[in-house]
Structure 1
Amino acid sequence: MKRVILLTAIIVLNACSGVKKTQEALNTGNYSAAMNKAIKNLADNKTKKGHQEYIILLEEAFAKNTAREQQEIAFLQNDGNPANLETIYNKYLHLKQVQQRIRPLLPLYITDEGRNAEFNFVNYDNKILNTKDDLSEHLYQNALNLLTSAKYKADYRNAYEDLKYLQEINPGYRETVAKMDEAYNKGLEFVRVDIANQTQQIIPERLESELLDFNAFGIDNFWLQYHTNPLKNVKYDYAMNLDFMEINVSPERINETQVIKEKQIKDGWQYLLDDDGNVVKDSLGNKIKIDKMRTVTCKLFQFTQTKTAQIGAKVSFTDLRNGQEINSYPLSSEFLFEHIFANYQGDKRALEDDLMLYLNAREVPFPSNEQMVYDAGEDLKERLKSIVSQYQFN
């Protein structure tokens, strides 16, 4: 019984809390929040007795929101500034959307007052269409003016944003798509990519190809294009230079180490003897057997093949409009080739399991210098990718 009472109390408190928050939103002029809370609860169950207050709050919030929005629209229209058209258009859309959300809930009956809640719905379709036409023409003309008078690439980008929004609200309006393409192409910034090798080593073709594969870098910049094969008809804004300053490949080395291992191992069994040399028996008269242990020794000849490659490079960004270097970042990478094999003399049972593995290995050919440089470049690629994908020119 106590659990039922407690559960009922919790439900009542939650309901009161929801109504209180809706009332607070209404009192502070946050009519959208008040309507959202009321509509959500009424959509769940509009005939529930505890939801009567939501009907009253929704009625009041709707009336006040409509009045305020219409007043603001009238003010903006009287101002006569075409820049206000987008705000007016969105306000009309919002007014219509609110009505569309409330309409399925009707009628909403207020029990204490014996009446249905009143919602003065207005058909905003003509106002929306007329405002959209005016806004479309304003956006289009504003974009054309920007395209004509643009001094900077930012101007073309602003024109593109206007045209993009125009295409969203009024697809196919006049030559919007063609003008978007024009604005995009003129707003793009181009980066020329160059690789320079100042070392005595040859950079593997595969490594160079992968370093220049900017499609794999995940660059998320709509207004930036990297060209690894510069085009004659493109005026480049920036240059990215990848300079290999140092490539070192060590000689091939085989180092030998000798290790002597000893271990006590079981080598059969023997009878347990007492101090007098007599065989010890258990309580049943059986002779007691024990493990026979002996020490074995093994000399391990361990050979370690090693070869290393190191790359030192620098990536720099230059503004080609003034020839100034903007930023530069050092890059370094190293790769170690290591292979261990071994042979032995003596009893290999003296060796631990990890050393036994080396006995199964044999000497292998060393990687070529080209392969070593390529492997060292794997880490270099990741570092370069991180820099390029995060770099912002402005």
Structure 2
Amino acid sequence: MKYFIIYIFSIALLVGCASSSKKYDKGDYDSAMEISAKKIKKDPGKFEEVDVFNDAYRMAYVKDKAEVERLKAEGNPANWSKIYTIYVRMNRRQELAKTLPPVGIVYEEQDFESEIENAKTKATEYAYAKGVEQLGKNDKLAAREAYSRFVEAKSYITNFRDVDEKIAEAKFKGTTNVFFTIEDKSKVVAPKALMEELQAINVDDLDKDWLNYDNTIDSNRIYHYSIILSMTDILVSPEEMKESIAQESKEIEDGFSYVLDANGNVKKDTLGNDIKIPKYKTIHCAIKRVQQRKTARITGSLNYYDNITNKLMKSEPITSDALFENFYAVANGDLNALSPQSQKDLQTQPVPFPPSPDLIIQAGNVLKGMTKDIIVKNAGYLK
């Protein structure tokens, strides 16, 4: 077992030593340098790692230098973001080399900072200009592209020109605005509290990416779509009480009688005691169980309209229920005749039926949650 552990440990060491070389052989020069740098810092005498670092640095430099020259030669301003990224990468390698002990690390120190600043400025100007171009199209999708361009420009130079104002403008113009409202088309006048509750549905937390929902009109916005919660019926059932009566009985001991012999004398047992036998009687009790029930139901539909074409895009039926239920029991007779379950049932009490408006409002609360779920589900319809 001891030799096996030593063998495994040796394999692990070999794998660890070889990992930087493997990264180098695969052309992953940056990973090779990172691994070698850690090992050199830990043990400056690892000259094989110094060789890997130097070779990887040289190969990465040659590769990136050639790529920068190629991108510059194309003369395409869109390339400046790539050029900037490459210069940042080259500078990061150089800074890594500077942190290593003087054990033969070979590199030619260069001033990448000026190249980075130049590339960053040009990449920023290009991204900003493309954003302005897209924003000028007065198109919602183009505005979203403009937003990405302005955000890119800001990532390079935080306070570049009026980039913050441009980002806000692109966000505003690229956002799809949806107006949510309700309408009561039922034959029953809905309680005022219900209408207020439904109209107060918080749609702000439904905002997502490029979708904005409002339940009050913002005069500064153009509403591309409307979602109308149309209530077509409000029903409240009568107060219902279902009764059932059950008779329960039980045989219980009720005193005793003596056992007599043929002569009418009380018999004795072997100890001389009177012989008795228990007497039984049957007791009865009637239990009435009552089920109270009342329901409210709101039915309608959630209708999606394209405000540009004034066409109905989609309609989803929606139904919400509120249920009041209560169970209680009363008994008449000898309660000792009742089963354990029946005795437990007697602990319940009757409850007043809720007023119809209260039950309707409960159904409205259910409707609110269902409405938001449907809006989330159908977000993909709104472009």
> How high is the TM-score relative to the length of structure 1?
0.81
Q: What is the aligned partner in structure 2 of residue 135 from structure 1? A: 123
Aligned-CA RMSD value: 3.6
Select 2:81's aligned residue among 78, 83, 86: 86
2-structure distance, mates of 1:170, 1:28: 35
1-structure distance, mates of 2:296, 2:192: 17
2-structure distance, mates of 1:24, 1:237: 57
One-letter amino acid of the structure 1 residue matched with residue 323 of structure 2: L
1-structure distance, mates of 2:283, 2:51: 95
Task: Provide Cα deviations, 1:187-240, integer angstroms capped at 9, x if missing partner.
Answer: 222112221222123444444444444546632413222221224453221111
2-structure distance, mates of 1:56, 1:264: 102
Q: What is the aligned partner in structure 1 of residue 92 from structure 2? A: 97
Query: Residue 144 in 1 paired to residue 132 in 2?
Result: yes
Runs of 4+ in 1 over 6 A off after TM superposition: 267-270, 276-281, 291-295
Q: What is the aligned partner in structure 2 of residue 70 from structure 1? A: 65
Query: Residue 107 in 1 paired to residue 94 in 2?
Result: no
Q: What is the aligned partner in structure 1 of residue 351 from structure 2? A: 364
One-letter amino acid of the structure 1 residue matched with residue 230 of structure 2: D
Q: How does 1:176-255 map to 2 (within 5 A)?
A: 176-213=163-200, 215=202, 218-255=205-242
Q: What is the aligned partner in structure 1 of residue 274 from structure 2? A: none
Judged with a 3 Å threshold, the aligned counterparts in structure 2 of structure 1 residues 144 and 312 are, in CA distance, closer, same or farther, namely same
Task: Provide Cα deviations, 1:251-296, integer angstroms capped at 9, x if missing partner.
Answer: 101111112334577x7999xx9xx986699xxxxxxxxx999865
Query: Residue 46 in 1 paired to residue 42 in 2?
Result: yes
Q: What is the aligned partner in structure 1 of residue 30 from structure 2? A: 32
Select 2:104's aligned residue among 108, 116, 125: 116
Task: Provide Cα deviations, 1:291-331, integer angstroms capped at 9, x if missing partner.
Answer: 99986543211111100122222112222112233333222
Judged with a 3 Å threshold, the aligned counterparts in structure 2 of structure 1 residues 218 and 58 are, in CA distance, closer, same or farther, namely farther
2-structure distance, mates of 1:216, 1:101: 51
Task: Provide Cα deviations, 1:103-122, integer angstroms capped at 9, x if missing partner.
Answer: 43x127xxxxxx53334443
User: SS at the partner of 1:70?
Assistant: helix
One-letter amino acid of the structure 2 residue matched with residue 136 of structure 1: T
> How high is the TM-score relative to the length of structure 2?
0.83
Q: What is the aligned partner in structure 2 of residue 375 from structure 1? A: 362
2-structure distance, mates of 1:77, 1:256: 90
2-structure distance, mates of 1:235, 1:172: 30
CA contact (8 A) 2:50 2:104 kept: no
Mind listing any 5+ residue stretches in structure 1 that lack a counterpart? 109-114, 282-290
Larger Rg: 2
One-letter amino acid of the structure 2 residue matched with residue 28 of structure 1: K
Judged with a 3 Å threshold, the aligned counterparts in structure 2 of structure 1 residues 353 and 8 are, in CA distance, closer, same or farther, namely farther
Q: What is the aligned partner in structure 1 of residue 310 from structure 2? A: 323
One-letter amino acid of the structure 1 residue matched with residue 366 of structure 2: D
Deviation at 1:249, TM superposition (A): 1.3
Judged with a 3 Å threshold, the aligned counterparts in structure 2 of structure 1 residues 55 and 327 are, in CA distance, closer, same or farther, namely farther
User: SS at the partner of 1:116?
Assistant: coil
Fraction of identical pairs, as percent? 25
1-structure distance, mates of 2:267, 2:88: 108
Q: Which moved more, 1:360-369 or 1:127-136?
A: 360-369
One-letter amino acid of the structure 1 residue matched with residue 205 of structure 2: G
User: SS at the partner of 1:245?
Assistant: strand
1-structure distance, mates of 2:341, 2:97: 75
One-letter amino acid of the structure 1 residue matched with residue 6 of structure 2: T
2-structure distance, mates of 1:262, 1:48: 97
1-structure distance, mates of 2:251, 2:122: 97
Equivalenced residues, count: 373
Q: Which moved more, 1:305-314 or 1:118-127?
A: 118-127
Select 2:155's aligned residue among 145, 168, 177: 168
Deviation at 1:28, TM superposition (A): 2.5
Judged with a 3 Å threshold, the aligned counterparts in structure 2 of structure 1 residues 60 and 207 are, in CA distance, closer, same or farther, namely farther
Deviation at 1:345, TM superposition (A): 1.7
